[in-house]
Amino acid sequence: MLETQLLTTLHALIIEDNPVDTELFAGELRKAGYDVVWNRAFTESEYISHLKQFPDIIIADYSSPQFEVSRALKILKEKGLNIPLIIITGTIDEKTALECIEKGASDYLFRDRLGRLGHSVEQALRKYGTNREHGVADETQRKGEETYRTILENIQDGYFEVDLIGNFTFFNHSTCEIFGYSSDELMGMNNKVYTTPETAKKIYTVYNTMYRTGETSEVTDYEIIRKDGSPIILEVSSSPSRDGSGAIVGFHGILRDVTKHRRAEEALRDSEEKYRSIIENIQEGYFEADLAGNFTFCNDVLCVSSGYSRGELMSMDFREYTTPESAENIFYSFHNIYLTKKPSEIVPYEFMTKDGQIRHAELSASLIVDSEGSPLGFRGVARDVTARRETEESWRRYDFIVNTSRDWMSLINKNYFFEAVNESFCRAWGKNRQEILGRSVADILGEKIFETEIMDHLYRCLRGEESRHHIQLELVPSDSLFFDVNYYPYRDQTGMTTHAVVTFQDITKRKQAEEKIESSFATLHKTLEGTIDALGFTLQTRDPFTAGHQRRVAELSCRIARAMNYDENDITALRLSSLVHDIGKIYVPNEILSRPGKITDIEFDIIKTH
Query: Read out DSSP for 30-99?
Result: HHTT-EEEEEEE-SHHHHHHHHTT--SEEEEETT-SSS-HHHHHHHHHHHT----EEEEESS--HHHHHH
> Does the pLDDT at position 579 exceed 80?
no
pLDDT confidence tier of residue 518, bands split at 50, 70 and 90: confident
pLDDT confidence tier of residue 84, bands split at 50, 70 and 90: very high
What's the confidence (pLDDT) of residue 610?
56
Contact 39, 13 (CB under 8 A): yes
Q: What percent of the chain shows pLDDT beyond 70?
A: 84
In the beta sheet, which residues pair with residue 503?
A: 409, 486
Closest among 361, 386, 366 to 376, alpha carbons compared? 366
Contact 506, 481 (CB under 8 A): yes
> Does the pLDDT at position 176 exceed 90?
yes
The residue type found at 156 is: Q
Computed over every residue of the chain, the mean pLDDT equals 84
Distance CA 597, CA 605 (A): 16
What's the confidence (pLDDT) of residue 57?
93
Contact 382, 302 (CB under 8 A): yes
Q: What is the mean predicted confidence (pLDDT) over 80-100?
A: 82
Specify the CATH architecture of the domain 405-506. 2-Layer Sandwich (3.30)
What's the confidence (pLDDT) of residue 215?
93
Q: Output the CA–CA distances (angstroms, integers) from residue 10 to 115, 149, 387, in the order listed.
A: 17, 19, 89
- Which secondary-structure segment (H or E) carries 563? helix 549-563
> Does the pLDDT at position 197 exceed 70?
yes
Q: What is the mean predicted confidence (pLDDT) over 437-459?
A: 93
- Range in 36-50, 164-178, 510-524 the model is least confident about: 510-524
Distance CA 332, CA 394 (A): 31
* pTM reported for the whole predicted model: 0.35
**Backbone torsions φ then ψ of 255, nearest 5 degrees:** -125, 150
CATH code of domain 282-389: 3.30.450.20
Q: What is the mean predicted confidence (pLDDT) over 514-534?
A: 71
Q: 64 versus 172: which is more confidently predicted?
A: 172
Fold of 156-262: Beta-Lactamase (3.30.450)
Q: Hey, how many other C-beta atoms are within 10 angstroms of the C-beta on 516?
A: 10
For 361-377, how does the pLDDT look when each residue is reduced to its tens digit (9 = 90+)? 999 999 999 988 899 99
CATH topology match: 282-389 vs 405-506: yes
Distance CA 26, CA 567 (A): 125
Q: What is the mean predicted confidence (pLDDT) over 573-590?
A: 64
- Domain ranges in the chain? 9-148, 156-262, 282-389, 405-506, 512-608
CATH code of domain 512-608: 1.10.3210.10
- Which secondary-structure segment (H or E) carries 11? strand 9-15
What's the confidence (pLDDT) of residue 210?
94
Domain 9-148, CATH among 3.40.50.2300, 3.30.70.990, 3.40.50.1100, 2.40.30.10 = 3.40.50.2300
